[in-house]
Amino acid sequence: MYLFRMRHLLFTLLGLMAAVSLAAVVWSGRLAVKELNETQRLLAANEVSELTLKVNTYAAMERGITTAMLAMPAGASDSMRAEMARLRSDSESYVIAALEAAQALLELDPTPQLRTALDALHRERQRLLRARGTADTLLQRGERGGETYFLSAATAFVEAAAALRSAALSTAANGNVVRRDNLLLKETLYIASEYAGRERALLGVAIAQQRPLLPAERELLYGIRNTADVALNTLEDALGGLLDDSDVAAAHVLMNEEFRRRYHQLRVSVYAASEQRKVYPFDAETWYREATRGIDSLIHLGATVNAVIARAAEQRARQARDAAVVFALAALLVLAILLAAVFLIHRRVTLPLKMLEQAAEGIGRGDYEQPLRLPAGDELGELGAAFDKMRRGLLEQMHERDRAETLLRASAQRFRNLVESTNDLLWETDRQGLYSYVSPQIEALLGYTPEEVLGRTPFDLMPRDEAARLEALFQELLVRRAPIRAVENINRHKNGRLVVLETNGVAVLDEHGEYSGYRGIDRDITERRQAEQAQRESERRFRDLLENMQLMAVMLDDGGNITFINDFLLHRTGWARGEVIGRSWFDLFLPAEARAGMRALYLRTMAGGLPASPHEHEILTRDGSRRRIVWNSIVIRGPDDRAAGSASVGADVTEQRKNEAEMQKLLRVVEQTDDAVVIMDPGGIIEYVNAAFERGTGHHRDEVVGTDSRLLFTDQPDPDFYQRMWSTISAGKPFQALMTSRRKNGELLHEERTITPLRDATGTITHYVSTSKDVTERRRMDEQLQQSEKLASIGQLAAGVAHEINNPVGYISSNIGTLTRYLDDIFRLLDAYERVEAGLAESAAVEELHALKKDMDLAYLRDDIRALIDESGEGVSRVKKIVQDLKDFSRQEEAVWQVVDLHKGLESTLNIVHNELKYKAEVVREYGELPQVECIPSQLNQVFMNLLVNAAHAIEQHGVITVRTGAEQEWVWVEVEDTGKGIAPEHLNRLFEPFFTTKPIGKGTGLGLSISYGIVQKHGGRIEVVSEPGRGSRFRVWLPVAQPAQAEAEC
């Protein structure tokens, strides 16, 4: 009892000590958590500071480039627009992150200053978004202005971000883990970068507008510059010990190089150019890029310092977390000690007494199973051990009785389960042969319940004849007390159907050795016997089929020896049945070269390594000739499911393979011919096209097979063409014609086509075969030849006409010149008379002279005579021009080949026709780089003049004529494009015919393009025309760079 009391006292003391220790640990942990919260607030403030600094950076960069573009929209390049878009995207991503980080900091430290700064940044962001929209609209329209508004909005946004950063850092400054120098460092970095950004924006506007700085701008910039310099000097002092860090030192060196030296030199040069009113040394884009490079070095220094401060704060946070974890573990340890003391008291005193009480109640109820296990070593443990010993004695007596009863029940249950779970019928008869027991399976086998069968003999359930046979057999067995071994017997089911059973049984002897009956088992084998009968019937029908069908059939055993062969195979090979049965199939029927391989394949199939499959090979006849057979084989399996042989059915395809070879040869001819072949059914549906058809039309056969053949003949001008064609071929006659269709790419295709009907053996038309030859190129060459002959004949005619007209025109031109000189003399004489007349005194003769002059209207006659002479001269000049064009067209004059610059010829021609063009169109020159070209310059100038004048005539009011040049390999081209009324499609093929013109009478001779065509052909070139009515025309002249020696000799 003394020991018992001491244990209670000890437990009480331990509990008090644990409570005091727990209170101390909780107090220390509270201090660690406070330190951790302050560190987390610092980290959150540092994150807000870093993100807002990036917001300031990208917003300031956006401010600089946007204000420069707004100041001079014309100078806004694509690269500047792309940079502006990138800066907007980066600024938006960082401002969203900064707002989220500030919101998280606000949850940690909800100060009014931070809430005010956060709301201000939200407002200024919305204002900046509106300013961006205005800037985009102005830039899209190319309008100047708006830079002051955008600069104000962007600066306010930057200042709001800076205010949020200051508010965030001020929340962390209240703790003891942040130094004042770190806050001062961040502030100076922001001031330096922000004011440098403002300087970049203001200078960028002046550079973009290429103007000197205004006095107000200079004063503002000097203030900005001084503020940034003061911030940089303060930065040097604030860095302090941070320069011991290698990353900070490297960033500091980079800042001094890029910002304090290089950027300083840049802005000095800008200020100098502004003061001296000189051109700035670079454009706005270059200034923005180079200034950004210097400011980026400041940003990089700030990011590096921020990373160092963040690492220090994170280290302090880790220390605080570690301390909190240590104090938490200590608290848990003290709590564990306290719980252990309580647990020991409960386990050693309270629980044992409770267990003794429960055990006593259980034994009182007769429950001896629950053991009593008390801790040993004290008085309660000894009492519990004695109590449990008594319980075990009582329990052992109960178990002996229960085991005997359980064994008896299990034995009976096992026999019952065995009898009732088998599908077979278990039975037992007495001395008289009457059923004394049948299992419940009799109802499933014969339809009777056990009660209906007990007291009857097995023979009562059989047909009469079967009962007599089985009763005699049973009497023989009964005499010898012999067992019943697999005796098959037919029984009649309760519903009348017959059931075949297989019976096995033994005689039963009593304890004295006397016969007391039989005990046995019946199994239903009805389905097995039916399957065996069906298999025998199937084999019989199969053999009859093999013998009577017109196919080769053979059956082999697992070694390849012949067990069956039908008459058709024997007839085709010349063997007799007795000569082949039992002999090797491979030795008799397979050629020597295939014998070993086929035998090995067959043996592997029999061994189960390969499945049987269709195959084709040659066999030998008795006289040594060969036949090609297609075989289909199956594997015959025995009762154990092992391969016992094979059965094969084969078709003789010897003649078929020969015919197929001939068909393949014909098909290759059709496929490889150069003529297109199309096969159609009687309804005109395409069933086959050859490769030549695919090459000629561009259509793949999969695209046309199954379609109507009329789709291939889409450009026949005669509407009755199809009716004539189908009436001819439907009558069984071939049809030949030159037919026009279109290739897949839209080009015209001209073919000489023959369509022939195909008839079957009864003379019925089953298909139509179309063969065609592509004559597109030949037709084009014929048309070109006809055109050349037409132009040549017209040229000869033009030469003759020019010769006949040239002399009379010369006389007329000379006479008009002489007549002009004569009239000039007469008019001078009249002038002299009039001067004399003015001095004459008034007389009848003078009055008569005045009356005659008035009657003749001498003044009008003088003016009209001169106008008539001038008009006659213009008419003669026009006739001479026509004659000259005719002579040029007929190529009667000699020309000199030279290597010249076509651009000079174009410019001289444009000068000549300037008066013709200036009132009708604006001339746009788009010249490429051209090599020197070997040509006759005067003739090409005439071509250019014709094209330019025609372009002006095609423009009805005022338009644009574009002259382009270019070179491709050994060719050059000159192109004249107008925005006139265009050329009708029906006139395009006649443009180069002599005397063909669409101009009004008196506006053109119709020889200009014809002569130009001849000149270009003479130079070995060509003219291409593209025109769309209502949109304009484009003429392109292609010329070789150098003329062949033969062409020069001919010229």
Which has more confidence, 81 or 709? Answer: 81
The alpha carbon dihedral of 1045, 1046, 1049, 1051 has a sign of negative
Longest dimension (CA), the chain: 204
Parallel/antiparallel/unpaired status of strands 676-680 and 765-774: antiparallel
Per-range mean pLDDT, top range of 244-248, 869-873, 970-974, 1003-1007: 970-974
Low-confidence winner among 26-40, 196-210, 378-392, 670-684 (lowest mean pLDDT): 26-40
Burial class (CB in 10 A: 0-12, 13-18, 19+), 335: middle
For every residue of 477-545, which 3-state class applies, written as one string?
HHHHCCCEEEEEEEEECCCCCEEEEEEEEEEEECCCCCEEEEEEEEEECHHHHHHHHHHHHHHHHHHHH
Residue 717 DSSP symbol: S
Q: Which residues contact 506 (CB under 8 A, 6 or more apart)?
A: 483, 484, 518, 519, 520
Plot region of 146 (φ>0 → left; ψ -120 to 50 → alpha; else → beta) = left
Pick from 329, 352, 378: which residue ends a domain?
329
Structural domain contains residue 126: yes
- Looking at residue 646, its pLDDT comes to 87
Q: Are 748 and 742 in contact (CB under 8 A)?
A: yes
Number of domains in the chain: 6
Average pLDDT estimate for 864-875: 81
In a domain, 1017, yes or no: yes
Q: Which two tokens stand for residue 455?
A: 């007291």
What number of helices (H) and strands (E) belong to the chain? Answer: 31, 22
Instruction: Report which listed range, 406-420, 538-552, 689-703, is most confident.
Output: 689-703
In a domain, 879, yes or no: no
The arithmetic mean of pLDDT across residues 383-401, rounded, is: 69
| Model pLDDT, residue 449 | 92
Task: Calculate what percentage of the chain has a pLDDT beyond 90.
Answer: 16
Residues 831 and 965 in one domain: no
Long-range contacts of 47-51 (CB under 8 A, 24+ apart): 47/101, 47/105, 47/310, 48/98, 48/101, 48/102, 48/105, 48/164, 48/165, 48/168, 49/165, 49/168, 49/169, 49/186, 49/306, 50/303, 50/306, 50/310, 51/94, 51/97, 51/98, 51/101
- d(Cα 183, Cα 73) in Å, to the nearest integer? 41
**Using an 8 Å Cβ cutoff, are 1017 and 1040 in contact?**
no
Q: Domain boundary at 309, 329, 349, which? A: 329
Indicate if 46 and 181 belong to the same structural domain.
yes
- C-alpha–C-alpha distance, residues 641 and 308, integer Å: 82
Cβ-proximal residues to 1001 (8 Å cutoff; 6+ apart), any chain? none
**Burial of 211 (C-beta count, 10 Å sphere; 0-12/13-18/19+):** middle
Q: How far apart are CA 433 and CA 457, in angstroms?
A: 6
Please return the burial class of 1, using the count of CB atoms within 10 Å of its CB with bins 0-12, 13-18 and 19+: exposed
Token pair of 883, please? 């004659």
Instruction: Say which amino acid occupies 53.
Output: L
Q: How do residues 946-998 score in pLDDT, each as one tens digit?
A: 899 889 988 988 899 999 999 998 999 999 999 998 988 888 877 777 656 77
Distances (CA, A) of 925 to 286, 654, 860, 928, 965: 32, 79, 48, 10, 9
Task: Write the CATH number for 695.
Answer: 3.30.450.20
Q: Are residues 679 and 652 in the same domain?
A: no
Looking at the structure, tell me whether residues 813 and 961 fall in a common domain: no
Structure tokens given for 112:
């009014």
Give the 3-state secondary structure of residue 808.
helix
Most confident of 71-75, 83-87, 885-889: 83-87
Q: Mark 614-624 as b/e (b = at least 16 C-beta within 10 Å).
A: eeebebbeeee
Looking at the structure, tell me whether residues 201 and 306 fall in a common domain: yes
Residue 923 sits in the same domain as residue 799: no
What CA–CA distance (Å, rounded) separates 232 from 236? 6
Mean pLDDT, the chain, whole residue set: 79
Using only C-alpha atoms, the chain has a radius of gyration, in whole angstroms, of: 60
More confident residue, 11 or 569: 569
Q: What is the pLDDT of residues 747-796, one digit of tens each?
A: 778 888 899 999 988 889 999 998 888 887 777 666 555 655 555 565 56
Q: Are residues 1019 and 971 in the same domain?
A: yes
Residue 760 shares a structural domain with residue 794: no
pLDDT tens sequence across 415-437: 566 656 677 888 999 988 899 99
Residue 887 resides in a domain: no
pLDDT at residue 7 is higher than 60: no
Pairing of strands 1032-1040, 971-978: antiparallel
Q: For residue 741, what are the domain limits? A: 673-766
Token pair in block for residue 74? 């014309």
Q: Is the pLDDT of residue 1002 over 60?
A: no
Write down the pLDDT at residue 894. Answer: 46
Write out 420-433 in H/E/C secondary structure: HHCCCEEEEECCCC
Task: Strand 435-438: give its sheet, edge to edge.
Answer: 435-438, 425-429, 515-524, 498-509, 484-492
Structure tokens at 640: 């154990």
- In sign, the C-alpha dihedral spanning 679, 685, 688, 692 is positive
- The SS3 assignment for 85 reads helix
> Is the pLDDT score of 620 beyond 80?
yes
Both tokens of 353, joined, read 């007494």
* Terminal-to-terminal C-alpha distance of the chain: 147
Tell me if 217 sits within 8 A of 201, measured CB to CB. no
Of the spans 65-79, 162-176, 805-819, 960-974, which averages the highest pLDDT?
960-974
Rounded Cα–Cα distance for residues 248 and 307 (Å): 9
Structure tokens at 130: 């509106």
Question: For the chain, what percentages of helix, strand and coil (3-state, to nearest 5) are there?
Answer: 65, 15, 20
Contact 1005/882 with Cβ under 8 angstroms? yes
Is residue 647 located within the same domain as residue 788? Answer: no
Q: Is residue 509 part of a domain?
A: yes
- Which of 82-91, 406-415, 513-522, 1022-1031 shows the lowest per-residue confidence on average (mean pLDDT)? 406-415
* Strand ordering across the sheet containing 921-926: 921-926, 959-968, 971-978, 1032-1040, 1022-1028
User: Which whole-number Å values give the CA distances from 133 to 84, 616, 700, in the listed order?
Assistant: 13, 81, 55
**Bridge partners of 484?**
505
User: Over 90: is that where the pLDDT of 901 sits?
Assistant: yes
Q: Give the other-Cβ count within 10 Å of 671's Cβ.
A: 11
Q: Are 844 and 910 within one domain?
A: no
Q: How many CB atoms neighbour CB 325 within 10 A? A: 12
226-230, 243-247, 467-471: segment of lowest average pLDDT:
226-230
Among 824, 841, 872, the domain boundary falls at 872
Q: How confident is the model at residue 3 (pLDDT cuts 50, 70, 90)?
A: very low
Q: What would the two tokens of residue 880 be?
A: 């001479």
φ/ψ (deg, to 5) at 133: -60, -40
Separation between Cα atoms, residue 181 and residue 188, nearest integer Å: 10
Asked if residue 755 lies in contact with residue 769, where contact means CB atoms within 8 angstroms, the answer is yes
Residues in Cβ contact with 374 at an 8 Å cutoff, skipping those fewer than 6 apart: 352, 355, 356, 380, 381, 383, 384, 385
Say whether both 308 and 180 belong to one domain: yes
Tokens of 736: 């030949």
**610 part of a folded domain:** yes
In a domain, 120, yes or no: yes
Does one domain contain both 553 and 520? no
Q: What integer pLDDT is reported at residue 977 of this predicted model?
A: 95
* Phi, psi (degrees; rounded to nearest 5) at 20: -65, -45
DSSP, residue by residue, 456-470: S-GGGGS-HHHHHHH
| Residue 963 belongs to domain with CATH number | 3.30.565.10
Report the share of the chain in percent with pLDDT over 70: 76
Instruction: Specify if 19 maps to a domain.
Output: no
Residues, the chain: 1051
**CB-CB contact of 750 with 738 (8 Å):** yes
Token pair, residue 132, equals 């961006």
Q: What pLDDT score was predicted for residue 744?
A: 81
pLDDT, one tens digit per residue, over 583-595 is 999 999 999 999 9
Gap between the Cα atoms of 687 and 690, Å rounded? 11
Which of 787, 762, 771 has the alpha carbon at shortest distance from 991? Answer: 787
Adjacent-strand bridge partners of 773: 752
Q: How many CB atoms lie within 10 A of CB 172?
A: 24
- pLDDT tens digits, 43-72: 777 778 778 877 877 787 788 788 878 877
The answer to whether 644 and 637 have CB atoms below 8 angstroms apart is: yes
- Rounded to 5 degrees, what are φ and ψ at 774? -75, 115
Give the C-alpha separation, 968 to 976, whole Å. 17
pTM: 0.33
